[in-house]
Structure 1
Amino acid sequence: MNEELSILKGIHPGIILERELRKRNFSKAQFALSIGEYPQTLGAITKGKRNMNTALALKIEQALDMEEGYFMILQVFFEIKMEKLKQHSNNSSDHPKLRRLLFWDTRMEKIDWQKQKRAVIQRVFERGNDQEKQEVIRFYGNTVVENILKYKSIPNNDT
């Protein structure tokens, strides 16, 4: 379980629950009723709009014959991730200063600047201006930027 948890760290437990229900061909509504919960409650959790609570986690784990505490561990890791994102967004030096226009398709507050550095660097070097390119080099360092851009230019022969 430890290896699986390290892979799933930061993912909302509702997403994992939905995947598990789909894998077992269970309807969310019928499963919710079978454990004595409202379908709306389970739906909100699987959409990530509501957090998992201990009582519900225990019911789900028992009904799905899963290890006790699994969903609450996922919930804690998710909450840690959200708190870190909040702290990073409050500290402006933790991310490069770039125009929101470059990231029109996402909320900049949700970007994990370290985990998603490859995508950030590639986007800035494809669509950014010279000032933004310099900002990315300042933020990540010249070596990291060069390695990512060099890696991108290698042709992919997987097809």
Structure 2
Amino acid sequence: MDSQVDILKGIHPGKLIERELKKKGLTRQVLSEQTDIPYKTMNAIIAGRRNLTVLQALKIEQALGYKEGFLAILQTYHNIRQYKDNEFSRIYAEPPRIRKSLFWDADFNKINWGKHQKAVIKRVLERGNKDEIEEIHRFYNLTTK
């Protein structure tokens, strides 16, 4: 189970549930009835708009044949990822002073500068000018060796 969790870490368990339902040819309604979880709640979980409670996870795990605790662990890792993403957004709330055109393929104002730090650094090192590279070093507090 550990290797499977490592692969799926950070993914909302609803995505996995949806995939499993398709694989087994089941509907959300059937799973809802089997688990005694209201249909609207089941839809919200599968859509990722609602987190799983431990009780819901146990019921769904039993219905789908997962090992006990599997979905609850995935939910926890998803919560951790959300927390870290929010922290990165708070820490790096303002963008670095670089050209927006470096990120022509993204909405510059919506980039999560902390979450996507590695990709930002790589892009600026590949396409940025000397001043932008220095700015990225300052912005992320990088040291040159």
Q: TM-score, normalised by structure 1?
A: 0.69
1:81 matched to 2:81? yes
Percentage of matched positions with identical amino acids = 32
Stretches of structure 2 lacking an aligned partner (at least 5 in a row): none
Tell me the residue number matched to 2:115.
112
Tell me the residue number matched to 1:97.
96
Please report how far the alpha carbon of residue 87 of structure 1 lies from its aligned counterpart in structure 2 after TM superposition.
1.6
Deviations 1:99-156 (A, max 9, x none): 7953318832386224xx3476348856x7775454346547779xxxxxxxxxxxxx
Q: In 1, are the aligned partners of 2:92 and 2:112 still within 8 Å (CA)?
A: no
Letter in 1 for 2:51: N
Q: Could you list the runs of 4 or more consecutive aligned residues of structure 1 that deviate by over 6 angstroms after TM superposition? A: 140-143
Tell me the residue number matched to 1:27.
27
Please report how far the alpha carbon of residue 92 of structure 1 lies from its aligned counterpart in structure 2 after TM superposition.
2.7
Q: In 2, are the aligned partners of 1:53 and 1:72 still within 8 Å (CA)?
A: yes
Question: How many residue pairs align between the two structures?
Answer: 139
Distance 1:106 1:32 in 2: 40
Sort the Cα spacing of 1:135 and 1:58 in 2 relative to 1 into closer, same or farther, 3 A: same
Cα RMSD, aligned residues only: 3.2
Letter in 2 for 1:121: K
Stretches of structure 1 lacking an aligned partner (at least 5 in a row): 144-159
Distance 1:66 1:109 in 2: 34
Q: In 2, are the aligned partners of 1:58 and 1:68 still within 8 Å (CA)?
A: yes
Letter in 2 for 1:112: K
Tell me the residue number matched to 2:10.
10
